[in-house]
Amino acid sequence: MHIIAKLLYIQASPRGERSKSSQVAQSFLESYKEACPDDETIVLNIFDEDLPSFDGFTVQAKYNIMHGKEHSDEQRAAWSVVERIIGQFTGADKFLVSVPMWNFSVPYRLKQYLDIIMQPGYTFGADENGYFGLVKDKPIAIIYARGGEYRPGSDREAFDMQKKYLELAFGMMGFAGINSIVVEPTLQGGPETTEKIMQAAIEQAQKLARNF
């Protein structure tokens, strides 16, 4: 019997159809749908989503759990929203993320989402040997779009806090073997370059999606 899987697509560009990372992700989703027509895809557009701010009540609720203390009513209410969002994340079987580079890192809304879901006891744990992930054996593909170029081995590689940070964050939660598609340079290089790199990224995404 084919088990229906849930794919969570985290879309981190607010640029709608103009977004290069979202366009590549769309091609991925189309090929994935052809390969696994019965699977469910949940789209989480983090700029449209009503994400709670990680404010004083929420931070205190996090510390209360870490220190074995009771919540106040406000803290309990704030934490139940966090738990609902974590539940949606951990309830998925497969993950697709499309993300623009903003100021060498990720857009603030993706950081906000990660601040919500990266919680000890939910998505990672810690012991005397350090951190360990609690999200196990789940595939993930991350599509990175950048206006410039940050090739490994180049002078600009060190500027790339986008891929480095997401690999650390998702790796800490337990994801192993992250599939990366890098779309660069989307701005430097002109329309011909953009068309060429988009075509290559789309082909890479389609191939990956068919065996995801």
Ligand X SMILES: Cc1cc2nc3c(=O)[nH]c(=O)nc-3n(C[C@H](O)[C@H](O)[C@H](O)COP(=O)(O)O)c2cc1C
CB 160 to ligand X: min, Å:
9
- Are the C-beta atoms of 179 and 142 separated by less than 8 Å? yes
User: 112 and 23 in contact (C-beta within 8 Å)?
Assistant: no
Closest to ligand X by CB, 54 vs 102, is 102
Shortest distance (Å) from residue 82 CB to ligand X = 27
Rounded Cα distance between 98 and 20, Å, is 9
Q: How far is the CB of 44 from ligand X (least distance, A)?
A: 15
Instruction: State which residue, 117 or 145, has the beta carbon closest to ligand X.
Output: 145
DSSP string, the chain: -PPPPEEEEEE--SSGGG-HHHHHHHHHHHHHHHH-TTSEEEEEETTTS-PPP--HHHHHHHHHHHTT-PPPHHHHHHHHHHHHHHHHHHT-SEEEEEEE-BTTB--HHHHHHHHHH--BTTTEEEETTEEEESS-S--EEEEEE-SS---TTSTTGGG-HHHHHHHHHHHHTT--S-EEEEE--SSTTHHHHHHHHHHHHHHHHHHHHHT-
Minimum CB distance to ligand X smaller for 17 or for 50: 17
* Min separation Cβ 103 and ligand X, Å: 5
Cα–Cα distance measured from residue 39 to residue 2, given in angstroms and rounded to the nearest whole number: 10
Binding residues for ligand X, rule: CB under 6 A, are 13, 15, 19-22, 100-104, 145-148, 186-187
Least spacing, CB of residue 35 vs ligand X, in Å:
24
Nearer to ligand X, 160 or 208 (CB): 160
Q: Which is nearer to ligand X, 78 or 114 (CB)?
A: 114
Select 12 or 82, whichever has its Cβ closest to ligand X: 12
Q: In angstroms, what is the minimal distance from the CB of 39 to ligand X?
A: 24
